[in-house]
Amino acid sequence: MLLDGFNHVAILTADTGRFVEFYRDVFGAEVTGEQRMGHEGVLTFVEIGGRREINLFELTGNAEAQRQTPMFGRGRIDHLGLQAASLDAFDAIRRRLIDRGAADEFVTDFGPVLSLFFRDPDGLEGEVCVPNPDAVPGQFNAPGTPAARYAASPGQAG
């Protein structure tokens, strides 16, 4: 394999401060730099871990961040998938997202991974994934399969 992951994902926002606050408070992300783009706007570099970053663009007059469509109708890049550093980190992120009203309590068991979907302040859908400690080798589950370890949580539906 010649690659070891993503370097960055470029995202448009309507409000850099609000976006950065959300990703900092929920995921521990850090702003590592900013580049003014003349009158066009600003590019902010937001590190999300492991030298991976979000290149965040707030562009004058660009309303793309407000346009929302259902999953798989969003264009070539549909959503952002983030990898939790551990199951404990996944649980901490989950609590933070629920506390902010950015996610419900449902965790999907895809087999090899657990997954939690969220929506950020601009309405961008994201997903947090972590290896599933309860995985059965070779078993893959359909979307909507509830994770047994979270099934006792209030609001967990099947």
Tens of pLDDT, residue by residue over 56-74, are: 999 988 887 777 777 777 7
Tell me the DSSP string of the chain: ----S-SEEEEE-S-HHHHHHHHHHHH--EEEEEEE-TTSEEEEEEEEETTEEEEEEEETT--GGG----TT-S-S---EEEE-SSHHHHHHHHHHHHHTTSS-S--EE-SSEEEEEEE-TT--EEEEEEE-TTPPTT----TTPBPGGGTTSTT---
pTM for this entry = 0.81
CATH architecture of the domain 78-151 equals Roll (3.10)
Average pLDDT over residues 75-87: 85
Query: What's the fold here for domain 1-62?
Result: 2,3-Dihydroxybiphenyl 1,2-Dioxygenase; domain 1 (3.10.180)
* pLDDT, tens digit, 9 for 90 and up, residues 15-51: 999 999 999 999 999 999 999 988 899 999 999 998 8
As annotated, the residues of the chain forming the CATH 3.10.180.10 domain(s) are 1-62, 78-151
